Amino acid sequence: MKTNKIELNQFTTWEHGENFTFSACMKQLMECLGGNRELYTYGFFAGLSGDDFVMCYGGDNGQYNDCVSACEETDTFLRRTLGRIGLPFSFVPSKTWREDMENIKIRIRKFIDKGIPILVKGEEKDKSYSLLFAYDQDGEVFTTTCGASEAGTPSGLQETSYILGLNNLSFIFIDSLPHIEDLALVYRESILQLPDLMRGRAEPGVTFGADAYINWANDLLGGRYAGCTAESFRKWEDWSIYICNLATNARHGWDFIAKAYVYNPDLPNILHLIALLDRNEEVWDYLEDLGFGFNIKADAFGDKEKCALAANAILKLAKTNEDIIRLFEPL
């Protein structure tokens, strides 16, 4: 079966900690539109969105809750994030396009024929982003990717075929580059949004910032994991995804902060912000050493003393988020 397909490079490097799919997809999309590769990097979008700095926690809500871009209500997130760089977009949630399925197929085909992939957002358990970059000649099967190469085949892509109409997906159509009048202001506002993202923000079933750490610690102490067995424990969904978010935030975002400071040398407290964010790595290392890191086993939750130690460490980051909020309150 003949397929119309945009040839994409590998655009996600998981082993480098590029774990937030919105940023990886936006980097590739900007490249397809002829954007400045030095500006529109993974790190630029991970800082712009707040993903590199803010914890999200969803408890036992049956979803993957790994970052702001995935957890925040999609239209709100896009308006806040893409609006800051003057990037027009058309957001089409699944409940809308299902009412006119033939029209959305035509629209998708037109974009791909022009060499422009479509940003796609999951709406159920997995709310990550991907790019829709191919369709078959019959126009019924559409192919998406989050841009990782297969082992040993750098030009290969991990492709997943979706038959339109069988999956709850939203589409974000973007066919132009951002219109940035003041890049310094973009960086400044992206840093100054952090207190708001860390302060009492919530979506249905998900909390952000300090509340995310508090709820995570409370679940650990309050019995969410009581009686976990090797068979019942969903390691990634229940625990490791939060460790992954913590580890990513511990190792990323510094380039974005540095550029924010270069463009805004008057931006106060930036060095204090760096010192506070360094605590992410301290807590991550501690949890790993305690046996509550990536390789946690279900029986770890049977040790009440260690659970208390892990919870106290997590609560330290809630305090850190509160310190960050106070850091910028005078502004």
Calculate what percentage of the chain has a pLDDT beyond 90. Answer: 52
DSSP state at residue 221: H
Q: Give 125-170 pLDDT, tens digit per residue.
A: 778 899 998 888 776 777 888 776 543 333 344 566 666 655 778 9
pLDDT of 29 higher than 70: yes
Specify the range with the lowest mean pLDDT, choosing from 28-42, 136-150, 246-260, 316-330: 136-150
Torsion of CA 128, 133, 139, 141, to 10 degrees: -50
Section 225-249 average pLDDT: 88
Section 244-261 average pLDDT: 88
Residue 230 confidence class, pLDDT cut points 50, 70, 90: confident
Average pLDDT, the chain: 87
Q: Are strands 90-92 and 141-145 parallel, antiparallel or unpaired?
A: unpaired
Q: Which residues touch 308 (CB under 8 Å, ≥6 apart)?
A: 221
- pTM for the full model? 0.92
Q: Which residues touch 325 (CB under 8 Å, ≥6 apart)?
A: 195, 198, 199, 210
- Within 13 Å, how many C-alpha atoms sit on residue 171's CB side? 27
Q: Give 159-198 pLDDT, tens digit per residue.
A: 666 666 557 789 999 999 999 999 999 999 999 999 999 9
What local confidence, expressed as pLDDT, does residue 249 receive? 86
Helices assigned H by DSSP within the chain: 21-32, 42-49, 68-71, 74-83, 94-97, 101-113, 183-192, 194-198, 209-222, 235, 241-251, 254-263, 270-277, 279-290, 304-328
Phi–psi pair at 2, nearest 5 degrees: -75, 140
